[in-house]
Amino acid sequence: MKSRDLFKKEHSDEQSYVVIHPLDDQPEQKKDLSNFEPMKMTFTVRLSLIILRVYLISMILLLAYHFLNLTGIIKL
C-alpha cells in the first residue's frame, strides 16, 4: 500500500494525516528487471547509438592526434 493512502486515517473521533519517511515505509514493488532483455533496436535507438559510436570514435581519433602531436610525431 502506498504510504499516502494511509494518510487520511480515522483516529478516534477526528481525522489525522500520517507522514512516513520513505526509508521507514514498506518498500514498493518496482518493475522486476531480471527478465528484461536489452532494448529493442527501433530506428531511433539504432540511429542514436550509431551517432554515439561515430562521436566516440571521432573523439578517440582527436585524442590520438593530440597525443601524437605532443610527442612530436606529427605537426599541424
Partner 1 sequence: MEEKSNKIPDRVDQPSTVIRTRYRWMQKIMLFLVVFGPGLIVMEADNDAGAVSTYTQAGAQYGLHMLWVLLLLLPITYFSQEMVARLGIATGKGHATMIYRRFGKWWGRFSVFDLQLLNFLTLVTEFAGINLATSQMKLSPDITVPLVAVGTIIMVLTASYRRWESITVFLCLLDIAWIIYAIRLGFSFEKITPAAISFFPSGQGITSSYIFLVIAVVGTTIAPWQLFFQQSCVADKRLRFSDLGYARLDTMIGAIFTIIVAGCMMIVGYMAVHSAIGYVYKNPAQMATSLGAYFGTIVKSGLLLLICNASILGITAVSLSSAWAYAEVMNWPTGLELKPKQAIGFYLIYILGVLAAAGLVLIPKAPLQLIIMTVQVLAGIMLPSSMIFLQLLLNDRELLGNEFVNRPWNNWINWTIIIGLFALSIILAVQVVLPQLFSS
Footprint on this chain of partner 1 (rule: CB under 8 A): 1-4, 6-7, 11, 14-31, 33, 36, 38-40, 44-45, 48-49, 51-52, 55-56, 58-59, 62-63, 65-66, 76
Q: Tell the smallest beta-carbon distance from residue 29 to partner 1 (Å).
A: 4
- Does residue 7 contact residue 19 with C-beta atoms inside 8 Å? yes
Q: Tell the smallest beta-carbon distance from residue 75 to partner 1 (Å).
A: 10
Q: Tell the smallest beta-carbon distance from residue 44 to partner 1 (Å).
A: 7
Nearer Cβ to partner 1, position 30 or 71? 30
In our burial notation (b when 16+ CB lie closer than 10 A, e otherwise), range 44-56 reads: eeeeeeeeeeeee
Grid coordinates of 28 = 514498493
- Does residue 16 contact residue 9 with C-beta atoms inside 8 Å? yes
